[in-house]
Amino acid sequence: MNPATALATVLVDELVRCGLTDVVMAPGSRSAPLALALHAESRVRLHVRIDERSASYLALGLARRSERPVALICSSGTAVANFHPAVIEASESGVPLLVLTADRPPELRGTGANQTIDQLKVFGSSARWFAEVGVPEERPGQVAYWRSLACRAYQRAVGPSDPGPVHLNLAFREPLIPDGDSSWVESLDGDASGPWVRTRVAPPPVALHLPPTRRGVLVVGDGAANVRRYVAAAGMAGWPVLSEPNGGGRYGDHAISTYHFLLGTPSFAEAHQPDVVVTLGRPGLSRSLLSWLRGAQEHIVVATDLSRWPDPTRSATQVAQAVEIPVAAGDDAWLHSWRRADAAARAAIDELLDSSGMSEPRIARDLADSLPNGALLFCGSSMPIRDLDQAMRPRRGLRLLANRGVSGIDGLVSTAMGAALAHNGPSYALLGDLTFLHDQNGLILGPREPRPDLCLVVVNNDGGGIFSLLPQAAIRDPFERVFGTPHGVDLGYVAAATGTPYRLVEDISDLPKAVRGEGLRIVEVRTDREPNAALHGQLRDAAQAAIREL
């Protein structure tokens, strides 16, 4: 057996023993040993994409939804560079990825050899751990090295306190394909009972015990862990829960879904300064929430890894791996005040949205309302997730995900597909038109590839709608070209190019029916950017007027 085939065979086998179930691969010559070993491996589900960027985001979606490491494989050269945006997102979001990049052997580096770049630590600080595996050689001791390395890589990607991407760079010399000889200097077999190296899970951290208080607030942002336990504890303590849609805590009687408007009303924000705020995950959708956090006297951030904790407002006073929220005696005046204001703002918002026709916030609200229990909703990082944050009503039974690590619009079609492939139930995505066009390659699926049950709902306002809500919109002359960026693309033709079922919705009442179905499909809804910007201002004014009337 040639060394390249031996390394690939052993590495794939050991990763499977560790628990690997899904692998995403882009085609290439230098990665042939890995490709052939994976194609022969029946214990993993293989996904092949022709575009490395699409492949990397597909792996990101798979890993994010399954919360398990997914392997990502490519050839050498610029193929590796195309993984970088997804690796950055995985790093900032804490998503476990195993990035296996094929490389040319050292004697070809720096010589001008074809498809050869410097791949050593190419992802910089975005990789939790990097290893240059070295050119495989037929000598004793290699199998123990390869198998222990695979175990280390898998466990470092898992975390457990700090999951993220791990990069193994694999230099292969030719020959790259099996030579028909199965002999090797030592046994290639792994441990009969499981992984080569077994790791023990650390005991749960000791929780920080808070003094009892009724005037507390639980804030839930993206990537929060143990959400149900903390929401239940906040309920017992009489605390309101301010959860972003993708935080997973917007349900139950204590959920305050209009917090963006409440905290954007100065009189309410000043009158509702808590004794303590506990934050889970990374809040970042609402400027009014972030501004309010800066004034918190006691702000406790819960982070599983004490070397990396989210605190964009620099307002954290304590950081803990776990917090114990005690039941507090006293009346419910604090919670009732939040709930009364929330009900008033919600009534004003819903009344305005009900008369707004095909508006973007109403599309977000009505879509979230209409999806069945057990569904997954993947949200675009720009306006869709913000519209959900401001318009979505509390509900149970819906799993929401978004790429909010660095909030890019790239690769979201592929991420949604990966998440749908890992989800046990119907899946949906709410994306803007620029986001959709940015990753239209994600629609390309080979005839033998696993196909997701995914409905892509694309809000088409012919450009970058979020910029219409920013100060740049006041600079009328250059705005449309350099910020609005109209494209004039007929999305129906994009769908037709890949044979993807497509439907245009022209009346908002038809949306729930339009998204029904199975398999991969596209539903387009068209809106106008200027009326949309005006509606957002009207929502703010209506909500704040209702709050002030209290």
Digit-coded pLDDT (tens) for 70-125: 999 999 999 999 999 999 999 999 999 999 999 999 999 999 999 999 999 999 99
Confidence at residue 471, expressed as pLDDT on a 0 to 100 scale: 79
Q: How far apart are alpha carbons 35 and 222 in whole angstroms?
A: 34
Digit-coded pLDDT (tens) for 377-393: 999 998 999 999 999 99
DSSP secondary structure code for residue 282 in this structure: B
Is the Cβ–Cβ distance between 258 and 349 less than 8 Å? yes
Confidence at residue 205, expressed as pLDDT on a 0 to 100 scale: 84
Confidence at residue 193, expressed as pLDDT on a 0 to 100 scale: 87
Confidence at residue 474, expressed as pLDDT on a 0 to 100 scale: 77
Digit-coded pLDDT (tens) for 411-447: 999 999 999 999 999 999 999 999 999 999 999 999 9
Q: How far apart are alpha carbons 471 and 544 in whole angstroms?
A: 21
**Four-CA torsion 222, 225, 228, 234, nearest 10 degrees:** -80
Quick one: pLDDT band at residue 271, thresholds 50, 70, 90? very high
HSE, CB side, 13 Å, CA atoms: give it for residue 545: 10
CA pseudo-torsion sign 535, 536, 537, 541: positive
Strands 398-402 and 208-209: unpaired
Q: Where are the alpha helices (DSSP H) in 199-286?
A: 227-237, 259-263, 266-271
Q: Where are the alpha helices (DSSP H) in 210-355?
A: 227-237, 259-263, 266-271, 287-294, 333-354
* pLDDT of residue 199 exceeding 90: no
Hey, what are 300's tokens? 């406790």
HSE, CB side, 13 Å, CA atoms: give it for residue 129: 19
Digit-coded pLDDT (tens) for 317-360: 999 999 999 998 888 999 999 999 999 999 999 999 999 999 99
Quick one: pLDDT band at residue 525, thresholds 50, 70, 90? very high
* pLDDT of residue 480 exceeding 80: no
Is the Cβ–Cβ distance between 346 and 393 less than 8 Å? yes
Quick one: pLDDT band at residue 482, thresholds 50, 70, 90? confident
Q: How far apart are alpha carbons 411 and 419 in whole angstroms?
A: 12
Helix 383-391 / helix 333-354 crossing angle, nearest 10 deg: 120
Hey, what are 145's tokens? 């090295």
Quick one: pLDDT band at residue 466, thresholds 50, 70, 90? confident
Question: Whole-number mean pLDDT of the chain?
Answer: 95
Q: How far apart are alpha carbons 520 and 12 in whole angstroms?
A: 30
Confidence at residue 200, expressed as pLDDT on a 0 to 100 scale: 81
Confidence at residue 46, expressed as pLDDT on a 0 to 100 scale: 97
Quick one: pLDDT band at residue 481, thresholds 50, 70, 90? confident
**Four-CA torsion 331, 291, 305, 95, nearest 10 degrees:** 110
Peptide bond into 175 cis (omega under 30): yes
Say which residues have a Cβ less than 8 Å from residue 303's Cβ, sequence separation at least 6: 309, 310, 319, 320, 321
User: What percentage of residues in the chain have a pLDDT greater than 90?
Assistant: 89
Is the Cβ–Cβ distance between 175 and 2 less than 8 Å? yes
Peptide bond into 478 cis (omega under 30): no
Across the range 358-385, mean pLDDT stands at: 97
Q: How far apart are alpha carbons 450 and 455 in whole angstroms?
A: 15
Is the Cβ–Cβ distance between 230 and 277 less than 8 Å? no
Is the Cβ–Cβ distance between 461 and 433 less than 8 Å? yes
Across the range 115-141, mean pLDDT stands at: 96
Hey, what are 454's tokens? 């995914």
Q: How far apart are alpha carbons 496 and 475 in whole angstroms?
A: 37
* DSSP run (H or E) holding 39: helix 32-39
Confidence at residue 288, expressed as pLDDT on a 0 to 100 scale: 97
Across the range 438-457, mean pLDDT stands at: 96
Q: Kindly report the three-state secondary structure assignment for every residue of 49-109.
A: CCCHHHHHHHHHHHHHHHCCCEEEEECCCHHHHCCHHHHHHHHHHCCCEEEEEEECCHHHC
Digit-coded pLDDT (tens) for 45-61: 999 999 999 999 999 99
DSSP secondary structure code for residue 394 in this structure: P
HSE, CB side, 13 Å, CA atoms: give it for residue 39: 15
Q: How far apart are alpha carbons 223 and 282 in whole angstroms?
A: 7
Confidence at residue 197, expressed as pLDDT on a 0 to 100 scale: 94
Determine whether 215 is exposed, middle or buried from the number of CB atoms within 10 Å of its CB (0-12, 13-18, 19+). Answer: middle
Q: Which residues pair with 282 in a beta bridge?
A: 222
* pLDDT of residue 463 exceeding 80: yes
Quick one: pLDDT band at residue 11, thresholds 50, 70, 90? very high
DSSP secondary structure code for residue 128 in this structure: S
Confidence at residue 225, expressed as pLDDT on a 0 to 100 scale: 93
Confidence at residue 362, expressed as pLDDT on a 0 to 100 scale: 98
User: What percentage of residues in the chain have a pLDDT greater than 70?
Assistant: 100
CA pseudo-torsion sign 171, 175, 178, 180: negative
Buried b (16+ CB within 10 A) or exposed e, 165-203: bbbbbbbbbeebebeeeeebeeebebeeeebbbeeeeee
Between CA 492 and CA 499, with CA 493 as vertex, the angle to 5 degrees is 90
